Amino acid sequence: MSKPYITILGKAVRAAARLRGNGSALPGLVVERIDPNFIKDTLASLPRGIVVISGTNGKTTTTKMVVELLESQGLRVFTNRSGSNFTRGIAAALLGEIDIKGHLEADIAVLELDEAHAVTFVRTIPPTYSLILNVMRDQLDRFGEIDATANLLRTIAVATTDTVVLNREDQRIASLKESLSNQQVRYFGLSDDLLATFPSDDNLHGGTKLLNNLAGDVILTKFADDTAVFRIGKQEVTTPLKLTGIYNVYNAAAALALVLAIVGDTVNRKTLIAALAEVTPAFGRGETLTIDGQPLELVLVKNPSGFRLGLQSFNPAGYATMIAINDNYADGRDMSWLWDVEFDSLRAGGVAKVAGIRAYDMALRLQYDEVPIAHVEKNLPKALRRFISENTELPKRIYCTYTAMLALRRELGKLTDVEPIG
């Protein structure tokens, strides 16, 4: 089947899927079955190459930041905006961007990829640049122990043809340098006094942070409220941020390091920092919606580090809090990690609603930390409606796993404007 016919068929499937409200990755799955080389052939013509962003935490928001920062430098960027970080999600996103002849109007592709699917991707499509964020104990039922996940990320770094950007503060990520030969290596990191705020997986599980002498290209040195200070080379830059969540501030250092590696000496730093100041969180990652005149925030949680930093980022005082926990495949089946999170900060105000497939597991965990719970309801639509109706005068915040977040956004889309993700 010729490429124009494949494109037409894929676009038709995409239109039908969107009309019926089906998953955004479905047309990509169809096209991949028909033409396994669809992604490779379509991206081959991009003059600035391909960027792969992977790691346990922060992929989606960091990808969004990188895209907007590159666009501030005049580059046309293709990305998998839906957040579907499997190859079929990339194929589906391409179908929405290419013309009828299969041509993609872009200079560079910036792709968020799930650790395991990234390995399959880079074996056939080596990235020009890669950014490896971190490695945490996440979805052990899928990836196995943490060293197995680190090996997946090593494969991505080794396959990269130009520059690899690594997290200086994560020993497993920094050590990937030892496996590299011809690639340039750049680092992002933290000042020493921020290390305790962003612990690596080893720190969380009783290990000791090993200080290193790697020179960081971009270092987060300070942050407070909505302002951050980065050291870029020898220059310190202070900027306001619209990003919520302290974890996103650290991700900003990663995004800056990657963009500087790509753009090089032609970078317009004033425009770059101005663009960073305007970036907002990706969907579900501190996203704020408005319901009945009150803000409602969605905070994605998927492992101990993410939940811990989420609780640290948002003051619960004056907010109605809901927690929604699912254990579908995309969430990870093993929810034992909830016991590695301390929920003391929620004790004073309590939790208004606990919902999702694993609602009772979550409720039990909260009881052990003596956090009052007003109501438990496994059914997410019912829980959301009751949460809203019982807290009409309060701003609201929902901590949720990935599939719970998607389900809640669908329901919220019936009540307010919700940005489409596919």
Is the pLDDT confidence value at 143 over 50?
Answer: no
Residues β-bridged to residue 353: 322
Indicate whether 26 and 75 sit together in one domain.
yes
pLDDT of 215: 85
One domain, residues 56 and 82 = yes
pTM for the full model? 0.84
CATH number (domain holding residue 321)? 3.90.190.20
Poorest-pLDDT segment among 17-26, 221-230, 332-341: 17-26
In a domain, 417, yes or no: no
Question: How many other CB atoms are there within 10 angstroms of residue 181's CB atom?
Answer: 5
The verdict on 261 and 300 lying in the same domain is: no
Q: Is the dihedral of CA 96, 99, 101, 107 positive or negative?
A: negative
Residue 142 — very low, low, confident or very high, per pLDDT cuts 50/70/90? Answer: very low
* Count of domains forming the chain: 2
Structure tokens at 422: 């596919």
**DSSP conformational letter for 281:** P
Asked if the structure places residue 140 within a domain, the reply is yes
Direct distance between the N- and C-terminal alpha carbons of the chain, in angstroms, rounded to an integer:
26
For residue 47, name the pLDDT band (cuts at 50, 70, 90).
very high
363 shares a domain with 307:
yes
pLDDT by residue (tens digit) across 89-118?
Answer: 788 888 777 887 778 899 999 999 988 888
Residues 304 and 270 in one domain: no
- Confirm if 226 and 242 have CB atoms less than 8 A apart: yes
In a domain, 211, yes or no: yes
Look at residues 227, 251, 278 and tell me which one is the last residue of a structural domain. 278
Q: How much is the pLDDT for 392?
A: 94
Q: Which of 248, 278, 308 is the last residue of a domain?
A: 278
Contact 297, 396 (CB under 8 A): yes
Tokens of residue 133, six digits: 């964020």
Full residue range of the structural domain in which residue 315 is found:
285-412
pLDDT of residue 211: 52
Separation between Cα atoms, residue 125 and residue 119, nearest integer Å: 10
> What is the pairing mode between strands 108-112 and 77-79?
parallel
Length of the chain: 422
Domain check: are 116 and 261 in the same one? yes
> Are 217 and 320 in the same domain?
no
Phi, psi of 113 (to 5 degrees): -135, 135
Report yes or no on 363 lying in a domain.
yes
Query: Quick check: 206 and 250 in contact, CB under 8 A?
Result: no
Tell me the sheet residues that pair with 164.
Answer: 130, 185
CA distance 30 to 14: 10
Question: Which strand (E) or helix (H) includes residue 218?
Answer: strand 218-224
Determine, yes or no, domain membership for 239: yes
Mean pLDDT of the chain: 86
228 and 295 part of one domain: no
As a whole number of Å, the CA-based R_g of the chain is: 21
**pLDDT digit string, tens, across residues 348-388:** 999 999 999 999 999 999 999 999 999 999 999 999 999 99
Is residue 58 situated within a structural domain? yes
What pLDDT shows up at residue 183? 95
| 74 located within any domain | yes
pLDDT range class, residue 1, cuts 50, 70, 90 = very low
Lowest mean pLDDT among 69-78, 174-183, 284-293: 284-293
pLDDT of residue 210: 53
End residue of a domain, out of 278, 305, 338: 278
Which of 12-21, 242-251, 296-305, 316-325 has the lowest average pLDDT?
12-21
Are 307 and 226 within one domain? Answer: no
Residue 199 covered by a domain? yes
Give the model's pLDDT for residue 418.
Answer: 83
Element at 232 (helix H, strand E) = strand 227-232
- 118 and 222 share a domain? yes
10 and 35 housed in the same domain: yes
Lowest mean pLDDT: which of 92-106, 148-162, 227-241? Answer: 92-106
Output the domain CATH number for residue 227.
3.40.1190.10
270 and 301 in a single domain? The answer is no
